[in-house]
Amino acid sequence: MTGRDRSAEFDTHRRYLTAVAARILGSSADAEDAVQEAWLRLDRTDNDIDDLRAWCTRVVSRICLDQLRSRGRRAEQPLEAVPDAAAADVNDPAAHAETADRVGEALLLVLQVLTPDERLAYVLHDVFGLPFEEVAEVVERTPQAARKLASRARSRVRGGAAGGSDRVATAAQRRAVVEAFVEAAGSGDLTRLVAVLHPEVQFHLDAGDGRSRLVRGAAAVASEAAAFRRFAVGYDFQIIELDDSCAVLASEAGVPMSVLFFTIDDARVTVLEAHSL
């Protein structure tokens, strides 16, 4: 294949590759940079490539993974709309993956609190349908390990375990519980907070530098939530509905600052997870 032919074929895949990178990185600008870097690497290689799209997908994904790892604990770029997978390649069955329609601000928020490897495994497999053998090559693990990465990410995206009860709250009930929690926390009403918390509720807080703190029990969690209002003056709170749970995004002057994930069972909060953005 001549350089001109290779360039022409790469251009036919560019939109798809940009969609992959944008979903991994959460930034269209970073995605375009990753795809351009992939083209430069392709242009420098003399090796014969049987499946150019597969090769480029692996290279773009690896570039994105390196970017995610280099970010460390630094704040992500502001969330933005990313290219639609279906629009990227209407003839690609992977573009019609069930989760592709749900990739938006809410999912990007969840992806931000996954590890880079979990994030990449979820996007490549669950959104774009790549087999775990190919995902494993990118993250440099076995296919079984890649499968576990995607499973952990999927659990977070879908709200995690709800405690195993048969009386899992409906979407409307979950939202009502979250609204009651936010209102009670904002007013510092401990009694109302305790009322929406399970007696054995767990509150996982991101303490920074990769550390976390766990608070157990309705009374202790209610006190922690009520105390937060002192640090949240001027914050805007937005309730985001996920597949099987809800989250609350806290923003200051339009900049996302933190996200609080809720697991709700039988109309009471069983697990809270707070993460800085």
196-223 pLDDT tens trace: 999 999 998 876 666 678 899 999 999 9
Backbone angles phi, psi at 252, to 5 degrees: -125, 120
- The reported pLDDT for the residue numbered 210 is 61
- 246: which strand partners? 241, 262
Q: Is 48 helix (H, G, I), strand (E, B) or coil?
A: coil
Query: Is the distance from CB of 252 to CB of 158 less than 8 angstroms?
Result: no
Tell which residue, 61, 77, 144, 130, has the closest CA to residue 100. Answer: 130
Q: What is the pLDDT of residue 79?
A: 44
Distance CA 24, CA 22 (A): 5
Rounded-to-integer distance, Cα 68 and Cα 249, Å: 22
CATH number of 171-276: 3.10.450.50
- Own/partner long-range contacts of 226-232 (Cβ < 8 Å, ≥24 apart): 226/184, 226/185, 226/188, 226/189, 226/190, 226/193, 228/185, 229/185, 229/186, 229/187, 229/188
- At 110 the pLDDT is 64
φ, ψ for residue 45 (rounded to 5)?
-90, 140
The pLDDT of residue 274 is 87
| CATH class, range 3-157 | mainly alpha
The predicted pLDDT at position 109 comes to: 63
The per-residue pLDDT for 189 is 85
Provide the pLDDT for residue 99.
37
For position 107, what pLDDT does the model report?
Answer: 60
Residue intervals of the chain classified under CATH 1.20.140.160 are: 3-157
Regions of the chain short of the pLDDT cut 70: 1-3, 71-110, 156-169, 207-211, 229-232, 243
Residues of the chain with CATH 3.10.450.50: 171-276
What backbone torsions phi and psi does residue 214 show, to the nearest 5 degrees?
A: -115, 130
pTM of the model: 0.55
CA-nearest of 186, 171, 189 to 264 is 171
The three-state secondary structure class of 23 is helix
